[in-house]
Amino acid sequence: MDSTADPKGKRPLYQEDGLAYARAAAAAASATAADEAEAKPKPKPSSSSEEAKPEPEAEEMPPLVLVAEDGVEVRISRPAARMSHMLRLLMEDSCADGPIPAPNVHSDILDLVVQYCEKHGPYYDPEASERARNPFPPFPVELTPTVSSIKPVTYVDPDPHGLKDWDKDFISLDNSTLFEVILVKRILNLLDLSSTPQDLLDLGTTMVADMMRGKKPEEIREIFEIENDYTPEQEAELRKENAWAFED
């Protein structure tokens, strides 16, 4: 195991990210950005050299330290932290040197989110992602409806970095973890209500949507283990009100 194993001693961060972390830590010791750009023997493992985004100042600094609700510290490298608007602001204001509290989030879940950010961070371009600037939540009333919002998500995107497959594995979590992850996204954005990384939120909500699509209410209750706190009369009335949806 590398020396940058997660302080909890449980699951270390990815080996590659560990290397990035080690390099960043070493880089912090040296003074000039120029030296760092040359001294790196190989490009960041998760990106090819021609695509490495030049962020010398971000890579010099040590990773941010997020403190979960159970007191455990989780480190996130600066490039990955860029995916959170809140963390980006903190970094710009140079307030990110000390531990940053992430209340109401268990360290296991924070770990998962950090893993996601570490994986997607190098390719994340805040300028390109227009939707990342839309406030979410609360929903503005004029939401942009896309046909994809009422169809299964089957868009075909070019995916040069194999992120889609990684995402699929990542998101095949059990129900409770999935919801925790979605909740965390919410929390990481508490300060600013902007939706980075929108991708993770999209991923999670799309998963939930796929689980609900085409199912009868009884089936949805079963999948999500929801208690039916309608009275029989109430339920009958709702079915009548939405009768067309129940005609098969």
> Residue 5 interacts with another protein (CB under 8 A)?
no
Residue for token digits 């879940």?
109
> Residue 29 interacts with another protein (CB under 8 A)?
no
Return the residue of 8, 40, 53, 106 that touches another protein, per CB under 8 A: 106
Residue for token digits 């998760």?
46
Return the residue of 102, 112, 182, 203 that touches another protein, per CB under 8 A: 182
Taking Cα atoms as reference points, which of 7, 3, 4, 2 lies closest to residue 72? 7
> Residue 9 interacts with another protein (CB under 8 A)?
no
Amino acid occupying residue 239: R
Return the residues of window 219-238 that contact another protein according to CB under 8 A: 220-221, 224-230, 235, 238
Chain-centroid distance of CA 146 in Å reads 22
Is the backbone peptide bond immediately before 197 cis, with ω within 30 degrees of 0? yes
> Residue 92 interacts with another protein (CB under 8 A)?
no
Question: Hey, how many other C-beta atoms are within 10 angstroms of the C-beta on 34?
Answer: 10
Distance in Å, CB of 112 to another protein, minimum: 12
How far, in Å, are 17, 21, 131, 203 from residue 143 at the CA level? 37, 39, 11, 18
> Residue 153 interacts with another protein (CB under 8 A)?
yes
**C-beta of residue 228 within 8 angstroms of C-beta of residue 236:** no
Of the listed pieces 4-12, 39-47, 53-61, 173-181, which binds another protein according to CB under 8 A?
A: 173-181
**Rounded Cα distance, 110 and 130, in Å:** 25
Closer residue to another protein in complex, CB, 3/144: 144
**C-beta of residue 70 within 8 angstroms of C-beta of residue 91:** no
- Count residues binding another protein (CB under 8 A): 54
Return the residue of 41, 103, 214, 232 that touches another protein, per CB under 8 A: 214
Return the residue of 141, 158, 169, 233 that touches another protein, per CB under 8 A: 141
Question: Hey, how many other C-beta atoms are within 10 angstroms of the C-beta on 196?
Answer: 26
By CB under 8 A, name the binding residues for another protein: 106, 108, 136-139, 141-145, 147-151, 153, 175-177, 179-180, 182-183, 186, 201, 204-206, 208-209, 212-217, 220-221, 224-230, 235, 238-239, 241-242, 244-246
